[in-house]
Amino acid sequence: MSPPLIETRALSKHFGGVQAVRGIDFALAEGELRCLIGPNGAGKSTFFKLLTGQIKPTSGVVLFRGVDITSLQAHEIARLGIGIKTQVPSVFNGLTTRQNLWIAAARHAGRKEADAAVEAQVARLGLGRFADRLVGQLAHGQRQWVELAIVLCGKPNLILLDEPAAGMTEEERVRTTEIIHEINRDHPLIVVEHDMSFIRTIARRITVFDRGSILMEGSVDEVFGSQVVRDVYLGKQAAA
């Protein structure tokens, strides 16, 4: 049996006396789309930072396709094909959309191949209208898509999306939902999101974080129907 695409075993992170992540055992299969939910401070963003090597765990391991990547630097983990779209768009504001994408594509391709990869992603995500505009001049939703295109140009084997619909208009959210479904056809995804209505449109399986631990894992119906989850996180929002 092949190992999970990414797996954590007893993963913990302490900041002084604060336990941000406590003994997380998590596994994601090839091709899966998993949503992570949980109240603020539940440890979701810290978990993402541990997966991408931005911070090192206090204890525990991270395995990617069975290989221990816990001690690797962020750029070494990225080279394995783990791409991340951060909560606040992490883009190159002083460069155009095309130039942003080219930097990503050029890491694993020559000049002409990178140019072609950029045009492919511009067409795929519909970025043509602002392809030659400085990214710093774009609207928030457009910057989110540019960042997503940057991640895709990096030819990822796994994509982590941290609140991909945050700050978007309803129209942009609908488009983002389509994009995520389209991307998931050939890329596994882990999505952190607060917006429950958005979660319902994209999720198949959900992991619920609470106080640095995994509270439960299950299908959309199981999670949204769980009284425990309602009590700790969803509350009246789910009941309504």
Min dist. Cβ of residue 20 to another protein (A): 19
**Which residue lies nearer to another protein by CB, 104 or 203?**
104
Q: What angle do CA 96, 54, 29 make, to 5 degrees?
A: 90
Q: E-strand spans in 65-188?
A: 67-68, 82-85, 158-162
What is the rounded CA–CA span in Å between residue 41 and residue 207? Answer: 15
**Which residue lies nearer to another protein by CB, 28 or 160?**
160
**Which residue lies nearer to another protein by CB, 73 or 169?**
73
Min dist. Cβ of residue 215 to another protein (A): 29
Min dist. Cβ of residue 98 to another protein (A): 7
Nearest to 212 by CA among 2, 54, 60: 60
Give the residues lining the site for another protein (CB under 8 A). 52, 54, 73-76, 78-79, 83-84, 90-96, 98-99, 102-104, 106-108, 111, 132-134, 150, 154
Q: E-strand spans in 169-212?
A: 189-192, 205-210
Min dist. Cβ of residue 238 to another protein (A): 34
Within 10 Å of residue 225's Cβ, how many Cβ atoms?
Answer: 12
What is the rounded CA–CA span in Å between residue 181 and residue 170? Answer: 17
Min dist. Cβ of residue 137 to another protein (A): 9
**Which residue lies nearer to another protein by CB, 26 or 92?**
92
**Which residue lies nearer to another protein by CB, 52 or 176?**
52
